[in-house]
């Protein structure tokens, strides 16, 4: 078997069945996109002109008035918050992240206050924002959002993510209406979303995306939205965004990936027959039962959900996941519900033989554990 570049460097081969995860390098970038980044890296350009041109090209895909390219989605959040706090005033841009004396409160739902590898509140504070939570973890009301707004409010903040509570939350349309009524910017974190137009069209002022997740771009991100707020984002390059700058090669890579995305937009429903077959094969292994599940945030993304029978296998889901991850080949799963005895395989980043390797490894685990009997 041909070794990949990381194996040549002395690292394990990784099978990424967990999705577009930062801890595994997020995405596999297409060869033609990387060819464009290599060409861009070898050539000089006026960076400010490139930033502005890339913003125009991104906006053609999002339907926004303008866009600002960033190093990642987390940087985009910090920059969007900074734009709301400073309103683009140069002396205030230079003052951040110290926002003392400024209207700096960022109002968000408690059910949206997530950790995606780092607390989302950290990115907000980097932009000078002070988080004001609304509602409870599992329930919130529009009146609570309206009541939280005052003279110190800089922006409203809405998170669209599978990490968030998916029910009982104030709807996006309510955020839009309230933001407009109070003449405040609405920032939407849509980092991993595949819908590049919906949040701008709904009326958000600034929408933050990762380039490296749904778009399979090199490490990058962008803020897209209304022209005045994107202008305020661009000014942050003279402040906190200086520490978050993106190189010319990844700007070009993002644009090329977005163009490719339009012609290679994945239809994950086409994977369902293969996933059904995989689920049947896993269910035939003693100690495991598999079925198809849809993404918890409602995206048209489908995964194989595996239930571990501890009485039959002699191992719980936590122990099985550890064995998968710590083997000679590291197999990473979606493991948010291990405490319920389940994990999932996300097929989006898998290569040709990865499912065969996964099934083989599950069979080894079952056999070595002395599972009581084959699945019915």
pLDDT of residue 1: 64
**Average pLDDT value over all residues in the chain:** 94
Looking at domain 31-262, which of 1.10.10.10, 3.40.640.10, 3.40.50.720, 3.30.930.10 is its CATH number?
Answer: 3.40.640.10
Mean pLDDT of 80-100: 97
Q: Tell me whether strands 206-210 and 153-159 are parallel, antiparallel or unpaired.
A: unpaired
Banded pLDDT at 243 (limits 50, 70, 90): very high
pLDDT above 70 for 182:
yes
When mean pLDDT is compared across 133-142, 153-162, 266-275, 324-333, the lowest value belongs to: 266-275
Mean pLDDT of 351-357: 90
pLDDT in tens, 133-147: 999 999 999 999 999
Q: Report percent pLDDT > 70 for the chain.
A: 98
pLDDT above 90 for 87:
yes
More confident position, 336 or 52: 52
Mean pLDDT of 325-329: 94
pLDDT above 90 for 295:
no
Banded pLDDT at 376 (limits 50, 70, 90): very low
**What are the φ and ψ backbone dihedral angles of 334, each rounded to 5 degrees?**
-85, 115
When mean pLDDT is compared across 21-35, 201-215, 310-324, the lowest value belongs to: 21-35
Mean pLDDT of 55-84: 98
User: How far apart, in whole angstroms, are the C-alpha atoms of residue 86 and residue 235?
Assistant: 10
To 10 degrees, what angle do helices 227-235 and 73-86 make?
Answer: 100
pTM of the model as a whole = 0.89
Residue 323: count of CB within 10 angstroms of its CB: 17
Three-state DSSP state, 129: coil
- Residue 353 burial by CB count (10 A; 0-12/13-18/19+): exposed, middle or buried? exposed
Radius of gyration of the chain (CA): 22
pLDDT in tens, 30-45: 999 999 999 999 999 9
User: How far apart, in whole angstroms, are the C-alpha atoms of residue 221 and residue 293?
Assistant: 29
Q: Which architecture characterizes domain 5-25+267-369 according to CATH? A: Alpha-Beta Complex (3.90)
Banded pLDDT at 375 (limits 50, 70, 90): very low
pLDDT in tens, 146-161: 999 999 999 999 999 9
Q: Taking the domains of the chain in order of start, what are their residue ranges?
A: 5-25+267-369, 31-262
User: How far apart, in whole angstroms, are the C-alpha atoms of residue 141 and residue 184?
Assistant: 19
């Amino acid at each position: 078997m041909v070794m990949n570049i990381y194996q040549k460097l002395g690292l394990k081969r990784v099978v990424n069945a967990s999705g577009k995860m930062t801890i595994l390098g997020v995405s596999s970038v297409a060869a033609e996109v990387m060819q464009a980044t290599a060409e861009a890296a070898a050539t000089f350009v006026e960076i400010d002109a490139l930033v502005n041109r890339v913003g125009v090209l991104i906006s053609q895909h999002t339907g926004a008035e303008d866009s600002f390219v960033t190093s990642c989605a987390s940087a985009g959040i910090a920059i969007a918050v900074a734009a709301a706090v400073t309103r683009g005033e140069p002396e205030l841009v230079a003052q951040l992240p110290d926002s003392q004396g400024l209207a700096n409160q960022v109002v968000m739902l408690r059910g949206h206050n997530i950790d995606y590898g780092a607390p989302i509140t950290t990115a907000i504070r980097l932009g000078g924002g002070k988080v004001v939570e609304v509602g409870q973890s599992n329930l919130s009301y529009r009146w609570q959002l309206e009541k939280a707004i005052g003279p110190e409010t800089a922006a409203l903040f809405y998170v669209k993510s599978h990490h968030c509570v998916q029910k009982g939350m104030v709807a996006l349309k309510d955020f839009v209406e309230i933001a407009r009524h109070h003449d405040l910017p609405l920032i939407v974190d849509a980092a991993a979303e595949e819908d590049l137009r919906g949040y701008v069209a709904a009326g958000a002022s600034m929408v933050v995306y990762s380039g490296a997740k749904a778009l399979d771009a090199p490490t990058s991100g962008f803020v897209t939205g209304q022209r005045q707020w994107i202008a305020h984002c661009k000014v942050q390059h003279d402040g906190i965004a200086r520490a978050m700058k993106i190189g010319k090669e990844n700007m070009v890579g993002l644009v090329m990936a977005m163009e490719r995305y339009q012609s290679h937009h994945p239809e994950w429903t086409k994977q369902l027959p293969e996933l059904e077959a995989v689920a049947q094969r896993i269910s035939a292994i003693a100690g495991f039962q598999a079925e198809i599940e849809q993404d918890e945030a409602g995206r048209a993304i489908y995964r194989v959900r595996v239930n571990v029978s501890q009485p039959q296998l002699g191992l719980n889901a936590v122990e099985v996941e550890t064995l998968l991850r710590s083997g000679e080949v590291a197999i990473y799963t979606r493991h948010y519900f291990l405490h319920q005895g389940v994990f999932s395989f996300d097929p989006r980043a898998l290569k040709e033989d990865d499912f065969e390797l996964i099934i083989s490894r599950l069979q080894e685990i079952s056999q070595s554990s002395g599972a009581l009997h084959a699945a019915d």
